[in-house]
């Protein structure tokens, strides 16, 4: 964590530089200085901003912004414009290109901090970067460009793919395999024992967990997220998966490539999640279930049955989102419906006062 | 973490001392020894206890308590009383005054542990206290009386206000600004990347997060709570906010002063929360929404629309609490209601057997 | 964390060895080599597998497994069988016996890493094992066989019972008492301040928390789980309790022996939980409540009233599970029910168009 914060406003870019890097046309003042990047509402005059439409171009001009990233169409349609327009076809993608360049301006030196403890039986590529108070245990293998930040733990027999970064105080238990270009955020815990017990003579008896965790390439694991090891086999997270903060993945879960899991989601033991699934925040899945490819679980959805691929589910218990929405709306009419039915009953069953049925008060 | 635990029962206070510190009258035995503070049910005879009413005064006497903090009214009305009564107008506030004094009995020495790594370009006030295995990166600024416990990480360019304490193994990514007198508990993570991606040619493409986090004064952040950095701007937590354990605050969220957030709450990206809002445990807010000043979200409430200031909301999806309570009660009558409507239909539509409508079994 | 991962497949067991250790009969090829343990679907030919029934015995044979742990009945009934059958009465218990033996093959050396900081006033038994960058504060007492992994913190005045293991980067605040044979996983936080405030002149005023945490024997605490200290008394976790990852236990909660708590559960302040209670994932309990012995709270259940012992509750708000299930089923008929009631009304109240009642669209 030695880089100077990326959002410093000390860039020495110009609008012309940016247009040239992106290979796109520039309209207006190419010499316009760019010292940072920001959203329009909080931009300084020399921050580069972006606009998806003409209205935001105009807003940027009113706010005194100097340079803007937008489409030729939005630029042409705007009544007012900042002095410099960098004209791109895909605003978001070009914005991300520039954020990547901004971030890359803070290179990180390779090397092993003298206050790290590396087991002599660990294998480290030449250009790894290891922070202070890191421990790397026996049999661990760290490939090219791996970076392990201060205080992180790499357990025995772990393998870390090229270009992966493990942030401060993250913990990898033994036998975790992580792919390339992953980002494992601070205080995440990969490979703790699963929550598995059998009935024993004196209460719950622990099932030792001797499996591992296998994580693909380009995976991001949020801060304080926890992925448990398998009992004997592995818990697996497919390539391209992104897990947000405080996500729980239990033992022996299998998650397909490209699945996105928002914060505070819990996935119970041995669940199989397909490819390209999306979990909204605080959703959950009971154990042993299957979630098909491309399914979407809405925020807070509580899944207790298998979910077919491609469907959107929500609710508690979760079902098809369209049904759950209808039911949620219908529920708001229910207090009134009770009265309406009582009224009907008074006509048809006049001698029946309804009390034995426990009418709602 | 060198202090001897605060709840030791080796205080050498007397009832008279306590009355004098609080500037309040004492009735009874001023020489009564006080060696600790406790709730009545678990108190030792020399623990100070407190009572909000006469009944608890009597209970304290029955349990053999020596000294009690209570109101003059409760003391006068009690049939039995402990030997010493310390008589205050606001029992809870005086109890907290004494807890603060008890805690302050364990002073913490300033100084930098020899096994900490402080970047030469960090600026530390003279009286900071830095524990073992702490890292403080370049450009960090620690003001007067800041305390960083063992194994905590202070990233590059962070600023920590006077009197703030960062507990063990907490992680501050680069560019986090923390105000004065804050408490950031163990294993909290401030400033990790937000969960933001755009569609790329090979799945989700990461949006680099180059913003920061700004935390006001007198803020408490619970253990393992996670507050993500902004994309380009900042995530902000207002002064006086209190966040419990395992809370998730996503990128670019803005939280007003004095807001309270209980454990396991998730607040999604770019949500704006007003001042003095209260979130019950495990509640959540979907992205981009606004929660007005003084709103209250009940425990487990799942907010998917804006919440007006001052209102109490609950439910999934969340709505006004009074409505949700009525609906929840009405729902308990629904299974019976289905049968009642079937009975009505048999009268009015005798040839219709109802099966095509899928009556509940 | 120096052990080589337990699930290595370099065991040099034979089927005969295993039968002898378990004291059970073997049928078939006693010399069959066993190099690992696995579930049938992912087993290598020399992995030991297990089967609860004849069908799985047959499946193991088809998959080329060499040795199987099963019951005499399943073995006898199977049409095809692996070369070696180890015949036991309780398959799961024997499987766990063997996993324990496999795990025990990786002994851990006692000793104190030179890069640990142990306060001279801490008391450590001779055979403790302390990892790198650990801190143990003054007054802490570590009994026989305690193991503290890299970067974990043991606060002042903590007591750790014999055979307990504290995993990497876990944090024990001062005055935490942990029993024997416990496992406290990585990044768990025991003893942080409770979330307690009183109204003060300038917003929420912190109540200092000077109590402790008391954890019984044979307790497992999941990764990043958080157990807060009591205000003046203790938060207590009974013997044999198992808490999963990311569980929150607030100040002054009392949990009886043998209770199981799945991931992401939140238990609010001063709740009393009985013995042998089971909490499903993401469930929660509001403050001050009581959960009776042997109660079961289903996953996601949101408890807002006391729960009698022995009952199973679910829902939001939680109630008896059987009722909540009936209500959830009934709710799926509600949109249709609204239409059915409207039809009835058209017969009985033909002049009433229903619009004033806000029929669902």
| A287-311 pLDDT, tens digit each | 999 999 999 999 999 999 999 999 9
Distances in Å between the Cα of C42 and the Cα atoms of A249, A254, C45, C79, C97 are 20, 13, 10, 22, 21
Residue with tokens 């994932």: C281
A4·B135 Cβ contact <8 A: no
Residue A359 has pLDDT above 60, yes or no: no
Q: Residues 6 or more apart from C346 whose CB is under 8 A from it?
A: none
Residue percentage of chain C with pLDDT more than 70: 94
pTM of the model: 0.95
Q: How confident is the model at residue C201 (pLDDT cuts 50, 70, 90)?
A: confident
**pLDDT for the residue C303:** 98
At C109, the pLDDT band (50, 70, 90 cuts) reads confident
Confidence category of residue C238, pLDDT binned at 50, 70, 90 = very high
pLDDT band per the 50, 70, 90 thresholds, residue B109: confident
What is the structure's pLDDT at A2? Answer: 32
Rounded Cα distance, B4 and B209, in Å:
41
- For residues C251 and C248, what is the distance between their CA atoms, to the nearest angstrom? 10
For residue A347, pLDDT beyond 70: yes
| Among B residues 239-298, those touching chain C with beta carbons less than 8 Å apart | 240, 242, 244-246, 257-258, 260, 262-264, 276, 280-282
SS3 content of chain B, % helix, strand, coil (to 5): 20, 30, 50
Report the pLDDT value the prediction gives residue A121, as an integer from 0 to 100.
Answer: 96
**Chain C residues with CB inside 8 Å of B9's CB?**
none
Which candidate from A281, A338, A360 shows the least CB-CB separation from B284? A281
Give the pLDDT band of residue C9 (cuts 50, 70, 90): low
Report whether B197 contacts A242 (CB < 8 A): yes
Angle at B105 between CA B103 and CA B107, to 5 degrees: 95
Q: What is the mean pLDDT of residues C155-182?
A: 97
Q: How high is the pLDDT of residue C1?
A: 32
- C 129-148 residues with CB below 8 A of B? 133, 135, 137-139
Confidence of residue B229 (pLDDT cuts 50, 70, 90): very high
Q: If you measure CA to CA, which chain B residue comes closest to C224?
A: B224
* B185 to C103, C135, C345: CA distances (angstroms): 34, 17, 60
Between the CA of residue C266 and those of A64, B205, B341, what are the distances in Å? 48, 34, 40
What does the alpha-carbon distance between residue A285 and residue C262 come to, in Å, rounded to a whole number?
Answer: 12
Reply yes or no on whether the pLDDT at B90 is more than 50.
yes
Using pLDDT thresholds of 50, 70 and 90, give the confidence band for residue C2: very low
* 3-class SS of residue A114: coil
Rounded-to-integer distance, Cα A168 and Cα A148, Å: 7
Share of chain A above pLDDT 70, in %: 94
Give the pairing of strands C135-136 and C84-87: unpaired
Q: Which of C39, C334, C341 lies at the smallest CB-CB distance from A341?
A: C341
Per-residue pLDDT, C353: 63
DSSP three-state, residue B2: coil
Burial tier of C361 (Cβ tally within 10 Å: 0-12, 13-18, 19+): exposed
Torsion of CA B182, B188, B189, B191, to 10 degrees: -20
Task: Write the DSSP string, A306-335.
Answer: -B-TT-EEEETTEEEHHHHHHHHHHHHHHH
pLDDT at C354 over 70: no
* Mean pLDDT on B66-82: 97
pLDDT greater at residue C5 or residue C27: C27
pLDDT at B4 (0 to 100): 35
Residue C6 has pLDDT above 50, yes or no: no
Q: Do A208 and C132 touch (CB under 8 A)?
A: no
pLDDT for C3 beyond 50: no
Does residue A358 have a pLDDT over 80?
A: no
| pLDDT interval class at C103 (50, 70, 90) | confident
Are the C-beta atoms of residues A186 and A245 closer than 8 Å to each other?
Answer: no
Nearest C-alpha of chain C: how many angstroms from A165?
18
- Segment A190-205 shows an average pLDDT of 93
More confident of the two residues B102 and C188: C188
pLDDT band, very low/low/confident/very high, at B1 (cuts 50, 70, 90): very low
Identified catalytic residue from C56, C143, C248, C251: C251
The 3-state secondary structure of chain C reads: CCCCCCCCCCCCEEHHHHHHHHCCCEEECCCCEECEECCHHHCCCCEEEECCCHHHHHHHHHCCCCEEEECHHHHHHCCCCCCEEEECCCHHHHHHHHHHHHHHCCCCCCEECCCCEECCCCEECCCCEECCCCEECCCCEECCCCEECCCCEECCCCEECCCCEECCCCEECCCEEECCCCEECCCCEEEECCCCEEEECCEEEECCCCCEEEECCCCEECCCCEEECCCCCEEEECCCCEECCCCEECCCCEECCCCEECCCCEECCCCEECCCCEECCCCEECCCCEECCCCEECCCCEECCCECCCCEEEECCEEEHHHHHHHHHHHHHHHHHHHHHHHHHHHHCCCCCCHHHCCCC
> What pLDDT score does B176 carry?
97
* pLDDT confidence bin for C107, thresholds 50/70/90: low
The predicted structure's pLDDT at residue A110:
83
Which DSSP category does A161 fall into?
A: -
Rounded CA separation A264/B250 (Å): 11
Peptide bond into A95 cis (omega under 30): no
Comparing A355 with B47, which gets the higher pLDDT?
B47
Count CA within 13 A, CB hemisphere, residue C1. 38
Residues in chain A: 361
pLDDT value of residue A357? 53
Proportion of chain B above pLDDT 90, given as a percent: 88
Cα-based torsion angle of the residue sequence A144, A150, A155, A157 in order, rounded to the nearest 10 degrees: 10
Q: By three-state DSSP, how is residue A336 classified?
A: helix
* B residues 289-348 lying closer than 8 A (beta carbon) to C: 299-300, 315-316, 328, 331-332, 334-335, 337-338, 341, 344-345, 348
- pLDDT score, position B8: 54
Distance CA A19, CA B68 (A): 75
Convert the pLDDT of each residue in A126-157 to its tens digit.
999 999 999 999 999 999 999 999 999 999 99
Q: Find the range with the poorest average confidence among A144-158, C91-105, C173-187.
A: C91-105
pLDDT of residue A103 exceeding 50: yes
C251 is catalytic: yes
Q: What is the mean pLDDT of chain A?
A: 93
Number of CB atoms found within 10 A of residue C23's CB: 8
DSSP state of A170: -
Q: Please tell me which chains touch B, using 3 or more CB pairs under 8 Å as the contact test.
A: A, C
Which backbone phi and psi does B344 adopt, to 5 degrees?
-65, -40
Give tens-digit pLDDT for C43-54.
Answer: 889 999 999 999
Among residues of chain A, what percentage have pLDDT more than 90? 88
Residue in chain A closest to C318 (alpha carbons) equals A316
- pLDDT band (50, 70, 90) for residue A3: very low
Q: Please report the pLDDT score of residue C161 as a whole number.
A: 98
> What's the rounded Cα separation, in Å, for the pair C36 and B143?
56
First to last CA, chain C: 62
Token code pair at residue B25: 């009258």
Contact A341 C338 (CB under 8 A): no
Structure confidence at residue A241 (pLDDT)? 98
Select from A91, A37, A79 the least CA-distant residue to A55: A79
Residue B250 predicted with pLDDT over 70: yes
Residue B202 pLDDT = 83
| Structure confidence at residue B11 as a pLDDT band (50, 70, 90) | confident
Pairing mode, strands C84-87 and C67-70 = parallel
Residue with tokens 């959703």: A283
- Render the burial of A223-240: b for 16+ CB within 10 Å, e for the rest: bbbbbbbbbbbbbbbbbb
Distance separating alpha carbons of residues C26 and C94, to the nearest angstrom: 14
pLDDT above 70 (res B289): yes
- Determine the pLDDT at residue C208: 93
Q: Between the CA of residue C201 and those of B196, B240, C330, what are the distances in Å?
A: 40, 12, 50
- Pairing mode of beta strands B272-273, B254-255: parallel
Distance between CA atoms of B141 and B156, rounded to whole angstroms?
Answer: 9
First to last CA, chain A: 62
Q: What number of CA atoms fall less than 13 Å from residue A277's CA on the CB side?
A: 30
Q: For residue C268, which of C286, C255, C282 has the smallest C-alpha distance? A: C286
**Distances B98 to B43, C105, C209, C210 between C-alpha atoms, Å:** 16, 53, 12, 11
Residue A70 pLDDT exceeds 50: yes
Encoding tokens for residue A182? Answer: 């992953």
What is d(CA C10, CA C26) in angstroms, rounded to the nearest whole number? 22
Q: How confident is the model at residue A104 (pLDDT cuts 50, 70, 90)?
A: confident
What are the pLDDT digits (tens) for C124-153? 999 999 999 999 999 999 999 999 999 999
What are the residues facing B315 on neighbouring strands? B318
Confidence (pLDDT) at B191: 97
What pLDDT does residue A201 have? Answer: 84
Three-class SS state of B205: strand
In angstroms, the CA B171 to CA B176 distance is: 10
């Amino acid at each position: 964590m030695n880089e100077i914060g990326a959002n410093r406003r000390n860039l020495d870019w110009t609008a012309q530089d940016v247009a040239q890097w992106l290979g796109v046309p520039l309209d207006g003042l190419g010499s316009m200085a760019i010292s940072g990047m920001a959203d329009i509402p909080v931009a300084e005059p020399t921050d580069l901003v972006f606009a998806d439409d003409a209205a935001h171009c105009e807003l940027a001009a009113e706010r005194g912004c100097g340079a803007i990233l937008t489409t030729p169409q939005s630029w042409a349609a705007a009544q007012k414009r900042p002095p410099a327009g960098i004209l791109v076809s895909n605003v978001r993608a070009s914005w991300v290109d520039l954020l990547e360049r901004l971030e890359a301006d803070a290179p990180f030196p390779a090397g092993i901090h003298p206050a790290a403890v590396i087991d002599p039986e660990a294998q480290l590529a030449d250009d790894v970067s290891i922070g202070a108070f890191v421990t790397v245990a026996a049999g661990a293998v760290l490939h090219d460009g791996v970076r392990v930040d201060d205080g992180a733990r790499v357990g025995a027999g772990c393998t870390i793919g090229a270009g992966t970064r493990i942030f401060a105080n993250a913990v990898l238990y033994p036998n975790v395999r992580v792919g390339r270009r992953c980002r494992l955020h601070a205080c995440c815990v990969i490979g703790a024992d699963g929550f598995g017990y059998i009935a024993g003579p004196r209460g719950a008896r622990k099932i030792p967990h001797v499996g591992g965790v296998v994580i693909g390439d380009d995976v991001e694991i949020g801060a304080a997220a926890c992925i448990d090891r398998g009992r004997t086999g592995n818990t697996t997270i497919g390539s391209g998966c992104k897990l947000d903060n405080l996500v729980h993945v239990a033992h022996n879960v299998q998650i397909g490539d490209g699945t996105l899991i928002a914060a505070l989601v819990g996935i119970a033991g041995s669940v199989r999640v397909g490819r390209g699934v999306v979990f909204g925040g605080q959703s959950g899945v009971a154990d042993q279930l299957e979630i098909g490819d491309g399914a979407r679980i809405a925020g807070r959805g509580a899944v207790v049955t298998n979910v077919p691929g491609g469907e959107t589910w929500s609710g508690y218990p979760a079902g098809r989102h369209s049904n759950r929405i209808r039911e949620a709306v219908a529920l708001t009419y229910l207090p009134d419906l009770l009265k309406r039915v009582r009224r009907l009953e008074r006509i048809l069953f006049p001698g029946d006062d309804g009390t034995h049925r426990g009418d709602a008060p």
